[in-house]
Structure 1
Amino acid sequence: MNDPTFPQVSTLDQLRLLFLHNANNLGRGVVLARPRVNALFTRLQADRRLVRLLDRLHEDHAGQPVWTNGITGATLLVLSRSDVRRVLSGSDRLYAMATPLKRRMMGHFQPDGVILTEGELRESRRRFNEVVLDWGRDAHREAARFATVVNEEVEALLTGPRATGRPLSWRALRRAFQRVGRRCVLGDVAAEDVEVSELLETLRREGNWMGLRVWRRGRMHALRARFDDRVHRYIDVGQSGSLVGRFADLPIEARVHPSGQVAQWLMGFDTIAPLAARTLALLSTHPWFLTAIEEEIADADRFHHAGTADSVLAMPHLKATVLESARLWPIMRDLARVVTRDTDWDGALVPEDAEVAISLVYHGRAAYRGRAAHRFTPQQWLDGSADNDWALSPTSRGPAACPGGDLGVFIATTAMAAFLREARFRLLTQELRPDQPLPYGFDPFRIKFAVADRPDTPPTVMVPMGPGGFGDFGDFDEEGED
């Protein structure tokens, strides 16, 4: 029985959460995004309503966590920044990643992945991931090669729109980043292997159904075998400059099952496409910052040679824009953990097997952030304030932080630099205005950009920078929020 010192949400609020949190997250697709459902929940302004509901619960309960009924049982919903830090900085043996829902969603195609592993075996698999992905390093040891791949694929992606005048679409953008993922993870030999991406996509799509379609288990088993077979072929080739190419140089325990980690890495590269689309949308609609970014790219290229990894590492403002995009519209909507033993939480008992949920959608836009919640504020990723704010954790933090998070941000930053070197972009779909609060929901799956050759002269800055720093536009009319 739940300790009474943590409040249980009311029946009415539970119904609201059932739609605004549970159905919102599951419907959009936790393992593979469902574009049509994403568009529906965006039109319904579900994220705006969720944030306002959680703001009220935060106020009503003085920031305490609250008990809700999740899909698989009692769930403690974390509402304060300090409690986010408590969970993320805590032991991953106490706050385990392998929740029952994740097992249902991913167990059929990555049962040996580090996310679903516990105990000492998890520690071994975690160490393997950290070594291959160079977690915590300034740059991956293959960063130069990866930067070359990204620059080549962005140049190829823009060839069509620049030659024909047709818009740059989401579909083309995603295909390009899937190709980047195949080349970086599996090697250039996999560049044209669309089938390996399609196999993984089918397996991920089935994961959205949480194992409920039992009649498809045989087919999924066969598809996973085909996927694993293709991955093993690329591991056997071990092409230099790829992630799997590093396997031969590492002392690997058999139980680590290195091939079992590859699906998660390919999935990670797939998340870069929506991140890139939203970041490009922010830059194309904030000309005052775009000008500064273009100057930063030019300076970095001048000192380190255009398109190199060293050049990208000298672009802190561009990296901050990528991180700010992930704050405004999180790629991972929730960070979920399961408590592995009874634990004391400020005098309250959190029982074994209870789940803990951290809504990144909420914490990125919570009322406690003030006016900055709905503004483009990349400076917080430059001045150190975001580093001290654990509620801003786009790739998680602590013992369970994504070991590929640093690499993912590097790839996204490299892609943004490549886009802005090559062309100028105009957002054709949902309007983003620098003098208005940014929308809670921004659907990347219908995004389109007009693409033009980059002019020799910098753009006219239509929105001046105010005396308070980046984007000081005065007070917003909250009723004008999308």
Structure 2
Amino acid sequence: MTLRPAEQARVLTTVLAPLLAQGAILRRPRAGSVAERLRADARAADVLAGLADRYDRRPVAVTLGPRRMVLPLHHGDGRAVLEGSPDPFSPASAEKRAALRHFQPRGVLISPLDERPALRAWNEDALETGRPLHSAGEGVVGALHGIADGLARFAQGRGTLAFDDAEEPLWAAARTVTLGPGARHDTALVDELQALRMRANWAFAVPQRRALRSRFTRRVLAHVRTAPLDSLAGAGVARGGTPALAATQVPHWLFAFDAARIALWRALAVAAARPALQDALRAEAVEVAAAGGVRTLPLARAAVLESVRLWPTTLVLLRETVAPTTWGDVALPRGHGVALVSSWFHRDPERRPAADTFDLAHWRGTDWSGPPGTDEDWLVVPFSLGPVVCPGQDVVLMTASTLLSDLVRDVRWSPASHPGLAGDPLPATLAHTRVRMHAAAA
């Protein structure tokens, strides 16, 4: 169903433009603050809800210059697209290829269909997809404990903690997990990555900085060559990958850890505002610390997952048809775009109040069941779904849950901003860079 001009204008200005303004690849803090003030996600949901009512939740299409983009509005349609990836719904859409080529031109996510299986298989082997605890977990978690302890001491000494204060320690954690302790203090690595990601926000509109990308790639490769086995890159090389192959995939792993930092910070903000939740997380942290070793943290993992459900770190899931495709009563030619607005599905107004409630009881591992009587078709996909599900979801959850657990174990947090996170319904937009918390000894 192609929308009328006035409807298309509302979708473009109220739904898609705010997502682009916030930064699809690298978040723009000022745009995020404006989006929070204007309740951008709530306004977008109102527009999509109106279209869902008018068109009986059938997919709707908008025209962006020469490009047509279909927006699924029914949870079953969204699920069909994700389960039908990478063929006929490829994740390597034209928009995504243009963006990600700025810093990871050979990443599995935008790889050609014939090259994808081998790259995907190696990524799954390296990241141990499906295993809650990576085999390199002992070394990784030990490093994370040290970084979290330092951040906790800093927060207690200062009395408050803002995202800007935590940003570098959390990046240090990402570098250490990915490349080992030799990369922990290499701040230039992230500086170069961020500069390339900033260009990637503009996708087609700006030329690639090839010299910078080459310098960044050489820096990554140097770390990969010395990465120990208890790092993701080292484990990947040991599983049949060359250092050169690993270096082509590491930029995407680092990119994914940026989203993990955001999800962790929002989860900590909710816990700071809810003493009962914080106490439960602290009790789990104390129990696991007393037991020793590397263990899963079910409550902390669920808190991170619920953070991503409520405030998706992937704002829109893009797909592109690789062949003429019949989808229900919709016929799409090859090369047609599909866009799933994550927050629409996760916060569907028809699923309230559960959609706007922070509740860890609904998570079973990485599967969201919802409250009793929930429509089984409700699409909640914090790490996507189907054959293109994020291969690093278990590593990300291991990292973020470990840091969250460590940060609440010895510190009692309370809101220095956003006191409204203490109760439901939770706001549809939360600018993580504006969140500040008080810190005291637990």
Q: Tell me whether the two structures share a fold, i.e. TM-score over 0.5.
A: yes
1:185 Cα deviation after fit: 1.0
- When residues 350 and 253 of structure 1 are mapped into structure 2, their CA distance, relative to the original with a 3 A threshold, is farther
1:293 Cα deviation after fit: 2.6
Aligned mate of 1:246, from 208, 231, 235: 235
- When residues 332 and 453 of structure 1 are mapped into structure 2, their CA distance, relative to the original with a 3 A threshold, is same
Counterpart for residue 29 of structure 1: 23
Aligned mate of 1:443, from 431, 437, 441: 431
Counterpart for residue 465 of structure 1: none
Equivalenced residue count is 436
Aligned mate of 2:214, from 219, 225, 237: 225
**Alignment map for 1:24-423 (pairs within 5 Å):** 24-70=18-64, 73-165=67-159, 167-214=160-207, 217=208, 220-252=209-241, 257-302=245-290, 304-305=291-292, 308-310=293-295, 313=296, 315-382=297-364, 385-386=369-370, 391-423=379-411
| Separation (CA, whole Å) in 2 of partners of 1:40 and 1:434 | 22
Which stretch has the larger CA shift, 54-63 or 196-205? 54-63
Read off the aligned partner of 1:221 and give its amino acid letter: R
| Separation (CA, whole Å) in 1 of partners of 2:240 and 2:126 | 12
Q: TM-score, normalised by structure 1?
A: 0.86
Read off the aligned partner of 1:452 and give its amino acid letter: A
| Separation (CA, whole Å) in 1 of partners of 2:139 and 2:355 | 37
- When residues 341 and 286 of structure 1 are mapped into structure 2, their CA distance, relative to the original with a 3 A threshold, is same
CA deviation string 1:330-369 (max 9, x = no partner): 1111111001111111232122111111111111111221
Read off the aligned partner of 1:324 and give its amino acid letter: E
Read off the aligned partner of 1:348 and give its amino acid letter: V
CA deviation string 1:92-125 (max 9, x = no partner): 1211011111111111221110011022211111
| Separation (CA, whole Å) in 2 of partners of 1:40 and 1:248 | 43
CA deviation string 1:360-393 (max 9, x = no partner): 1111111221211212122211495159656100
| Separation (CA, whole Å) in 2 of partners of 1:276 and 1:91 | 28
Read off the aligned partner of 1:288 and give its amino acid letter: A
Alignment RMSD, CA only? Answer: 1.9
SS in 1 for 2:203: coil
- When residues 400 and 452 of structure 1 are mapped into structure 2, their CA distance, relative to the original with a 3 A threshold, is same
CA deviation string 1:38-77 (max 9, x = no partner): 1112212111110111112112222211111247611110
| Separation (CA, whole Å) in 2 of partners of 1:135 and 1:293 | 25
Which stretch has the larger CA shift, 198-207 or 338-347? 338-347
Read off the aligned partner of 2:227 and give its amino acid letter: G
| Separation (CA, whole Å) in 1 of partners of 2:176 and 2:242 | 26
- When residues 198 and 51 of structure 1 are mapped into structure 2, their CA distance, relative to the original with a 3 A threshold, is same
Does structure 1 conserve the Cα–Cα contact (< 8 Å) formed by 2:345 and 2:379?
yes
SS in 1 for 2:353: helix
Does structure 2 conserve the Cα–Cα contact (< 8 Å) formed by 1:173 and 1:273?
no
Which stretch has the larger CA shift, 244-253 or 203-212? 244-253
CA deviation string 1:251-302 (max 9, x = no partner): 3389x83311010011111212211111011111122322333333333334
| Separation (CA, whole Å) in 2 of partners of 1:130 and 1:84 | 24
Does structure 2 conserve the Cα–Cα contact (< 8 Å) formed by 1:238 and 1:247?
no
CA deviation string 1:395-450 (max 9, x = no partner): 10111111011111121111110011120111211222444421111110121111
Does structure 1 conserve the Cα–Cα contact (< 8 Å) formed by 2:368 and 2:380?
no
- When residues 19 and 309 of structure 1 are mapped into structure 2, their CA distance, relative to the original with a 3 A threshold, is farther
| Separation (CA, whole Å) in 2 of partners of 1:44 and 1:185 | 37
| Separation (CA, whole Å) in 2 of partners of 1:300 and 1:228 | 38
Does structure 1 conserve the Cα–Cα contact (< 8 Å) formed by 2:125 and 2:236?
no
SS in 1 for 2:132: coil
Which stretch has the larger CA shift, 9-18 or 416-425? 9-18
| Separation (CA, whole Å) in 2 of partners of 1:164 and 1:291 | 22
Unaligned 5+ residue runs, structure 2? none
Does structure 1 conserve the Cα–Cα contact (< 8 Å) formed by 2:122 and 2:236?
no
SS in 1 for 2:420: coil
1:213 Cα deviation after fit: 2.7
| Separation (CA, whole Å) in 2 of partners of 1:451 and 1:294 | 14
| Separation (CA, whole Å) in 2 of partners of 1:336 and 1:292 | 37
SS in 2 for 1:119: coil
CA deviation string 1:132-177 (max 9, x = no partner): 1111113111112221121111111122221233x21111222111
| Separation (CA, whole Å) in 2 of partners of 1:28 and 1:202 | 16
1:26 Cα deviation after fit: 1.0
| Separation (CA, whole Å) in 2 of partners of 1:119 and 1:285 | 46
Read off the aligned partner of 1:347 and give its amino acid letter: D
Q: TM-score, normalised by structure 2?
A: 0.94
CA deviation string 1:185-215 (max 9, x = no partner): 111111111101101110001111224233x
Unaligned 5+ residue runs, structure 1? 1-6, 455-482
Counterpart for residue 16 of structure 1: 10
| Separation (CA, whole Å) in 2 of partners of 1:72 and 1:317 | 47
| Separation (CA, whole Å) in 2 of partners of 1:249 and 1:434 | 46
SS in 2 for 1:341: coil
SS in 1 for 2:234: helix
